[in-house]
Amino acid sequence: MIELDQEQQAARDWFESLRDRICAAFEAIEREAGSDATFDYSPWDRVDADGSPGGGGVRGLMNGRIFEKVGVNVSTVGGRFNPEFAKTILGAEEDPRFFATGISLVAHMANPHVPAVHMNTRFLATSKRWFGGGADLNPPIPVEEDIADFHARLRAACAAHDPTYYPRFSKWADEYFFIPHRGVARGAGGIFYDHLEGYFEQNFAFTRDVGEAFLDIFPKIVRRRMDMPHDDADKARQLEWRGRYAEFNLIYDRGTLFGLKTGGNVDAILMSLPPMATWR
């Protein structure tokens, strides 16, 4: 076990409690659809490069009637970055020791009219401490009502803390969730933020509100679309879109890179990949 200070423990406890409530909300939707699907939880332990305990996490995975594949991961890890990777991390250039705790979620939906979604919030500590995260909607068949409602809920969460947050973080999401080699956005955007440092309580409060906003709005969108009829053309569109989602996560996603570079659980790191996809 790695020892946690008060801030680290508070962040860990919050991410784990959010995981529990999200999983319960998603299982409730499965019950409404007549499915008995539940999350399967797989704990894992991390060993640092020198052989010392490096924390670990729990991978939660569900394959249901509505949620074709949804992963909700929590992890709390610590140790030392390798020298080259340390150069890319805030505050780790001279001292490679780090701590990270967070929640990461990706949901791929059975019905192509229900948007896929990603949400992640995290707290990192090197010689500096900061929060990062965000959420973004990824509809294979975009519906303006869903996109507008998703953005409105995130905008409200941002506005409660700083009027500049939503303009800054939605722009950051548009720039980050972009597939350069395709020249297209990965999805319909949301918010993305990183390196919120210096004021733990304020930044932690904002990060909690991002998680609450996601838990409030996404189940509503799922219930709105999950019973819509769809045909083979809709499914083909979804599978091709999933291929592009996989390309982004394997080539550009920072979370994927961070997990692999720090000795994380490979199955948990790659749970973001869709269960089926096509390339034409």
Write out the catalytic residue numbers. 118
C-alpha span between 17 and 121 (Å, rounded): 13
| CA 213 to centroid of chain Cα atoms | 13
| CA 244 to centroid of chain Cα atoms | 17
What letter would DSSP give residue 89?
A: S
Neighbours of 273 (CB within 10 A): 17
| CA 177 to centroid of chain Cα atoms | 12
C-alpha span between 248 and 257 (Å, rounded): 12
Cα 276 to Cα 40, 93, 272: the distances in Å are: 20, 40, 12
